[in-house]
Amino acid sequence: MSPDRRTALAAQADVHRSPLRARRLGIHTHDQAVVFMRTDCHVCRLEGLTPHSRVLLSADDRETIATLYQVSNGLVGVDEAGLSEAAWAHLGLSDGDPLFARHPDPVLSLSRVRRRIYGTRLDEADLRSIMSDVVKGLYSDVHLSAFITAGAAVPLDREETVALTRAMVEVGERLTWSNGPVLDKHSVGGLPGNRTTPIVVSIIAANGLTMPKTSSRAITSPAGTADTMETLAPVDLDLPAIRRVVERECGCIVWGGAVRLSPADDVLIRIERALDIDSEGQLVASVLSKKIAAGSTSLILDVPVGPTAKVRSPEAAQVLSHTLSSVAGIFGLRTTIVLSDGSQPVGRGIGPALEARDVLAVLRQAPDAPPDLQQRACKLAGALLELGGKALQGQGETLALETLKTGRAWDKFQRICEAQGGMRTPPEAGQRHPLPAPAKGRVSSIDNRKIARLAKLAGAPEAKAAGVEMHVRLGDIVAAGQPVCTLHAETSGELDYALDYAAATNDIVSIEPQ
Amino acid sequence: MSPDRRTALAAQADVHRSPLRARRLGIHTHDQAVVFMRTDCHVCRLEGLTPHSRVLLSADDRETIATLYQVSNGLVGVDEAGLSEAAWAHLGLSDGDPLFARHPDPVLSLSRVRRRIYGTRLDEADLRSIMSDVVKGLYSDVHLSAFITAGAAVPLDREETVALTRAMVEVGERLTWSNGPVLDKHSVGGLPGNRTTPIVVSIIAANGLTMPKTSSRAITSPAGTADTMETLAPVDLDLPAIRRVVERECGCIVWGGAVRLSPADDVLIRIERALDIDSEGQLVASVLSKKIAAGSTSLILDVPVGPTAKVRSPEAAQVLSHTLSSVAGIFGLRTTIVLSDGSQPVGRGIGPALEARDVLAVLRQAPDAPPDLQQRACKLAGALLELGGKALQGQGETLALETLKTGRAWDKFQRICEAQGGMRTPPEAGQRHPLPAPAKGRVSSIDNRKIARLAKLAGAPEAKAAGVEMHVRLGDIVAAGQPVCTLHAETSGELDYALDYAAATNDIVSIEPQ
């Protein structure tokens, strides 16, 4: 249309550009932004919106793209837009706030994803624009999956891996620390009960090294480090609070989700999990971007190796380690890999409070502290003490153990908890039920995944006290009827769910006749 | 667990396996199955279900996998499962029906998708199991996108293309016809107003050849052939009804969505559209699987070529044509490609009833019948008459035109409409508004996509009478103020929406000064 026609009709434009009223529907979608509008609302009519289309929502200065579901009944009013919790939080709304909705502009970075699908390598500018749009929520699951798949079908090369790592760091917040080495650790693959982090941080910080640790909550496991730590102290700290704690105590153990360090990783990891693919380049960028954004300079990578663990052979671990170290080096991050046994759960407890009890037992040097958890923590802390220059090569583990035995780690842990907002006592479960061995024999295998499922059915991680307490380890000899583990639950209903599963499932703990 | 333990605890199992009550929520999600359950309902607790996880729903003998959204408020009761329309229809439910929900078993065919991502070619068994799970609704958007992307990043080879075509046919219904050639046509790329199908079918059937045509409804366009035809006769026929009509009249024009001919295509095409990628192998399998399932033996492929059309050059059209013909040959399907001009809309009307009026004008040989629509229909019908052996090479178009001019096509069309359930008169719009040319000059371009959008804003395809009526074609000389098109709408509100868009948009129809 020419300028003339535009002027002639301009008075009509904007007549229908009135907002909808935002309404919180209390719908939990994980991280998916969903908006519910009436099929016959003026916005759907004006914009020609159809179900399952992508819609740009804007309120004040915030905007996001949501998936539109249209409703034909009274779920929302004709002048309302109902929102999922993820969309609600992203837009920072209050009930009744005006909300505008329209067709989104084309997401330009998608053309770069398409080019990559058709074989053109991506450079830094490409990856920055893609990651920027990813964290703005402009990519649907279809788009995210295409990006992940393209980078697995034709693997990211080294330049792309470096550029992706950098882009993931750049689209989020960054922490910087003024002095000394900044230490970090990462565990690949969730081994139930592998809760070394609070112990490692306490040992490192007690030795005067800086370790600002951010951890995740459970997504598919019965407990993340943040869930466990939350039974001992507040973990929901913002960046200034993290800085205060670390400046005072050298270390912290907080929830990473409250700060936006490599937020693209949080989006991509859900897709990788759904596809169950873990291509090397993306794994490397995922791990490193979080650590670089946290300002780390030295990293220990804990890689449990075992038949039901993520990494199944020492050779696979070495290949991963090589790529990871070389990319990390470009960002000035020194990396050491520590292989560990991934064949059975660590410690006794599986579930937030039960794992916290194991952590406390090790820190307090209680007589019944699980030796495997202590040994793992000391191995990792020892390697970090060496990286941080507090111990000579080969002597870190001894220093770590000494830091535990003298009570300095326990003292430091209590100080960190106080600095994070005050130490707490982990809750105890009201409902307990032992699972007896059906016959005498030797414990020949323990299925990590089934044990994790049992703990989740008992209520973990939402029910903090719930989970599984292991009484046996591989190779133990048991008598018939002797408990192999005890279920902990907060309600009898949840206890029953876990018992149902145990009754219906083979080989959670296998006993071989002798 | 050993058999002993299973027996000991077996009595407890099933205690909590009570169903939820199904509730229809009237939520339109296009084809996505979504279930809404309370976070605190016994199923979510028992199964340890989390938001956005995939859930197997079963009712009587039907089952599907849905995406779970959890609700924390009163949207559904604690014993209810609220369902999207797609899930509701798939399960064939009534309100209050018992519905079971649990973790789905692993979708085994996904391991074949993963293998393909990592470079292993797929064979027929692989593709059959993948397509089978796709049509069962077991794949999420993430999985579907990975399948499409993997086949674009490392293109399907010829064997895979053939195997995919066969698999897509095999997982749906098939039509078989006892005698003679069975003709079909397909148009690549939506050119507004390109509604040749009812005319072509009438000409072919009038000459005694079999043409059982199934067509789609609009997804993103202002009208599909099924939408247009529905203003003239019922189109929602099942397979026995289609067979009856075709046996009596040689041809039909029905909606393909009511019959399951290559249902996998309906699922995959939505993902390809979202990604805006159209890899050759998948396009070929998509087009051919529908035709093979319909029992066709000869196919005309109409390929509009133009700057705003899907295929942008004659060379690209020839490459596509070659692959398509060679794969089609394996299934005994003869294929001819017909290139056509894709630079502007076809006929005058854009929108279901407006296009139906053009179709009727050509069939009735009205003095104002759009000559371009007639010419396109005769070209395609002519090629089919030659393929079907009713005309010598080069004489098909003449026979087609003669079939129109003698009224035999019009007669046949009316019979087909009667056989499909009775002929109807297309509705007329109550609201009309011409858009005047701002200045005198020559029509230099018409934007197919913007014209389509204008028609949709006016209400098409839901409002059958709505759309755009074109008054000019490329090269026409217009005076200032002369209408270039007229908007048709069923309500004044919708008319305003379209006028708003026209006022705010440049170059819908471009006029060059002379």
pLDDT one-digit tens code per residue, B131-159:
999 998 889 999 999 999 999 999 999 99
* Percent of chain A whose predicted confidence (pLDDT) is above 70: 96
Residue A170 near residue A124 (C-beta atoms within 8 A):
no
Average the pLDDT over A469-473 and give the result. 96
A194-223 mean pLDDT: 92
**Cβ-count burial of A58 within 10 angstroms (0-12 exposed, 13-18 middle, 19+ buried)?**
middle
User: How far, in whole angstroms, is CA B52 from its chain's centroid?
Assistant: 28
pLDDT digits (tens, 9 = 90+) for A252-279: 999 987 788 999 998 898 898 888 887 8
Question: By CA distance, what is B27's nearest residue in A?
Answer: A71
A38 beta partners: A71
> What is the DSSP annotation of B443-500?
EEEE-HHHHHHHHHHTTTTTSTT-EEEE---TT-EE-TT-EEEEEEESSHHHHHHHHH
Cβ A12–B500 below 8 Å, yes or no?
A: yes
CB atoms within 10 A of CB B389: 11
A29 at the B interface (CB within 8 A)?
yes
Chain-chain contact of B25 with A114 (C-beta, under 8 angstroms): no
Closest CA to A296 of A256, A339, A334: A334
Can you tell me the distance from the alpha carbon of B178 to that of B332, in angstroms, rounded to the nearest whole number?
Answer: 15
Selected residue with higher pLDDT from B105 and A68: A68
Q: Which residues of B touch A506 (CB under 8 A)?
A: 1-2, 6
CA-CA distance, B51 to A460, in Å (whole number)?
15
User: Angle between the A124-135 and A110-117 helix axes, to the nearest 10 degrees?
Assistant: 120
- Residue A2: per-residue pLDDT: 40
Q: Residue B160 in contact with residue B117, Cβ under 8 Å? A: no
One-letter amino acid at A436 equals P
Q: Are B182 and B212 in contact (CB under 8 A)?
A: yes
Lowest mean pLDDT of A252-266, A460-474, B2-16, name the range.
B2-16
Task: For residues B234-247, give the mean pLDDT.
Answer: 95
Question: Rounded to 5, what percent of chain B is helix, strand, coil?
Answer: 40, 20, 35
Q: Quick one: average pLDDT of B191-210? A: 95
What average pLDDT score do residues B52-73 get? 90
Q: Which of B133, B184, B265, B278 is catalytic?
A: B278
Q: Identify the band that residue B238 occupies on the pLDDT scale cut at 50, 70 and 90.
A: very high
* Percent of chain A residues topping a pLDDT of 90: 67
**Residue carrying structure tokens 């535009």:** A6
Check if the beta carbon of residue A401 is closer than 8 Å to that of residue A206. Answer: no
For residue A511, what pLDDT is reported?
93
What's the burial of B115, exposed, middle or buried (CB within 10 Å: 0-12/13-18/19+)? middle
ipTM score of the complex?
Answer: 0.84
Confidence band, pLDDT 50/70/90 cuts, at residue A31? confident
CA distance A61 to A91: 9
Q: Nearest-CA neighbor of A266 among A343, A336, A342, A173?
A: A173
Q: Which residues contact B76 (CB under 8 A, 6 or more apart)?
A: B23, B25, B36, B37, B38, B82
- Identify the residue among A25, A35, A73, A117 best suited for mutation to test binding to B, counting B beta carbons within 10 A and taking the highest: A117
Phi/psi of residue B304, each to 5°?
-70, 130
Q: What is the dihedral of CA A396, A283, B70, A261, to 10 degrees?
A: 70
Tokens of B28: 């339109």
Distance from CA of A510 to the nearest CA of B (A): 7
Distances (CA, A) of A503 to B6, B102, B112, B306: 5, 17, 32, 66
Chain B residue numbers with beta carbons less than 8 Å from the beta carbon of A75 are: 25-27, 75
Closest CA relative to residue A228, chosen from A200, A260, A253: A253
Catalytic residue among A278, A302, A358, A372: A278
Structure confidence at residue B326 (pLDDT): 93
B278 is catalytic: yes
Residue B88 has pLDDT above 70, yes or no: yes
Nearest to B31 by CA among A37, A140, A31, A53: A53
Could you tell me the CA-to-CA distances from A292 to A1, A176, B260, B419 in Å, in that order?
Answer: 51, 10, 52, 71
Strands in A347-501 per DSSP E: 349-350, 431-436, 441-446, 467-470, 477-478, 483-489
Nearest by CB to residue A500, choosing from B12, B36, B143, is B12
Phi-psi region of B173 (alpha: psi -120 to 50; beta: other; left: phi over 0): beta
Q: How far is A252 from chain B (nearest CA, A)?
A: 29
Mean pLDDT over the full length of chain B: 90
The residues, ordered by sequence, that sit 6+ positions from A170 with a Cβ below 8 Å of its Cβ are A128, A131
Helix (H) or strand (E) holding A361: helix A352-364
Contact A140 B142 (CB under 8 A): no
With 90 as the cut, is the pLDDT of residue B312 above it? no
Closest by Cα among B451, B431, B461 to B509:
B451
Q: The pTM is what?
A: 0.85
Q: Is the pLDDT of residue B3 over 80?
A: no
What pLDDT is attached to residue A486? 97
| 3 state SS of A143 | helix
What are the pLDDT digits (tens) for B166-199?
999 999 999 999 878 999 999 876 688 899 999 9
Backbone angles phi, psi at A246, to 5 degrees: -70, -35
Cα separation values, B223 from A129, A435, B123, B455, B487, Å: 36, 64, 37, 9, 15
Q: Cα B189 to the chain's mean position, in Å?
A: 11
Q: What is the mean pLDDT of residues B243-247?
A: 95
Residues 6+ apart with CB under 8 A from B16: A493, A496, A497, A500, B42, B46
Proportion of chain A in helix, strand, coil states, percent, rounded to 5? 40, 20, 35
Q: Quick one: tokens of A500?
A: 């149902």
Query: Which helix (DSSP H) or strand (DSSP E) does residue B127 occupy?
Result: helix B124-135
Report how far apart, in Å, the C-alpha atoms of B209 and of each of B253, B381, B403 are: 14, 11, 13
Per-residue pLDDT at B7 exceeds 50: no
Q: How far apart are the first and last CA of chain B?
A: 88
Question: If contacts are CB pairs under 8 Å, which of residues 124-143 in chain A contact chain B?
Answer: 140-143
Q: Is residue B202 exposed (0-12), middle (13-18) or buried (19+ Cβ within 10 Å)?
A: buried
Checking DSSP bridges between strand B34-38 and strand B80-84, what pairing results, if any?
Answer: antiparallel
* Contact across the interface for B71 and A27, Cβ inside 8 Å: yes
What per-residue confidence (pLDDT) applies to B304?
A: 85
Kind plus residue range of the DSSP H or E element containing B380: helix B371-387
pLDDT over 70 (residue A332): yes
The pLDDT score that the predictor gives to residue B367 is 96
Is the model's pLDDT at A13 over the cut of 60?
no
Put simply, the answer to whether B2 touches A27 (Cβ < 8 Å) is: no
Q: Do A52 and B45 touch (CB under 8 A)?
A: no
Closest CA to A289 of A239, A338, A328, A238: A328
Q: Does B17 score more than 70 pLDDT? A: no
3-state secondary structure A216-279: CCCCCCCCCHHHHHHCCCCCCCCHHHHHHHHHHHCEEEEEHHHCCCCHHHHHHHHHHHHHCCCC
Mean pLDDT in residue range A469-477: 96
A271 Cα distance to chain centroid = 13
pLDDT at B460 over 70: yes
Using a CB-CB distance cutoff of 8 angstroms, which residues of chain A are in contact with residue B457?
46, 48
For residue A319, give the 3-state DSSP assignment: helix
Tens digits of per-residue pLDDT, A75-105? Answer: 899 999 999 999 999 899 999 999 999 888 7
Which amino acid, residue A443?
V
For B97, other C-beta atoms within 10 Å of its C-beta total 17
Q: What is the rounded distance in angstroms from the CA atom of residue A167 to the CA atom of residue A160?
A: 10
> Quick one: tokens of B156?
């399907």
Are residues B40 and B81 in contact, defined by beta-carbon separation less than 8 angstroms? no
The pLDDT, as a whole number, for residue A132 is 96
Task: Tell me what pLDDT residue B149 has.
Answer: 97
Q: SS3 for A432?
A: strand
Q: In this structure, what token pair is assigned to residue B283?
A: 């396009």
Nearest to B2 among A146, A438, A500 (CB): A438
| 8 Å CB contact of A51 and B28 | yes
Shortest distance between the Cα of A483 and any Cα of chain B, in A, equals 12
Helix (H) or strand (E) holding A38: strand A34-38
Structure confidence by residue, pLDDT tens digits, A392-415: 999 999 999 999 999 999 999 999
Crossing angle (nearest 10°) for helices A408-420 and A239-249: 150
- Chain B: residue whose CA lies nearest to A435: B5
Cα A508 from Cα A453, distance rounded (Å)? 10
Chain B closest CA to A83's CA: distance in Å? 12
**Average pLDDT, stretch A449-453?**
88
From chain B, the residues in CB contact with A39 under 8 A are 28
Chain A residues within an 8 Å CB radius of B436? 5
Does the pLDDT at position A10 exceed 60?
no
Check residue B234 and give its pLDDT: 97
Statement: residue A12 has pLDDT above 60: no
Inform me whether the C-beta atom of residue B86 falls under 8 Å from chain A C-beta atoms: no
Cα(B26)–Cα(A70) distance, rounded to whole angstroms? 8
Q: How close does chain A come to B506, measured CA to CA in Å?
A: 4
Contacts of B140 in chain A (CB under 8 A): 141, 274
Could you say which residues from 472 to 511 on chain B have a Cβ atom under 8 Å away from some Cβ of chain A? 493-494, 496-497, 499-500, 502-509, 511
Q: Which of residues 436-475 of B touch A (CB under 8 A)?
A: 436, 438-439, 453, 456-457
Helical pair B314-330 and B280-293, crossing angle rounded to 10 deg: 50
Q: How many CB pairs under 8 A join A and B?
A: 248
Contact A207, A411 (CB under 8 A): no
User: A314-323 — which CB contacts under 8 Å span 24+ positions?
Assistant: A314/A339, A319/A280, A320/A188, A320/A280, A320/A283, A320/A284, A323/A158, A323/A161, A323/A280, A323/A281, A323/A284
Determine the Cα–Cα distance for residues B127 and A276; give it in Å rounded to an integer.
19
* A6 membership: H or E segment, kind and range: helix A3-10
How close, in Å, is residue A59 to chain B by CA atoms?
A: 22
Portion 170-189 of B in contact with A at CB < 8 A: none
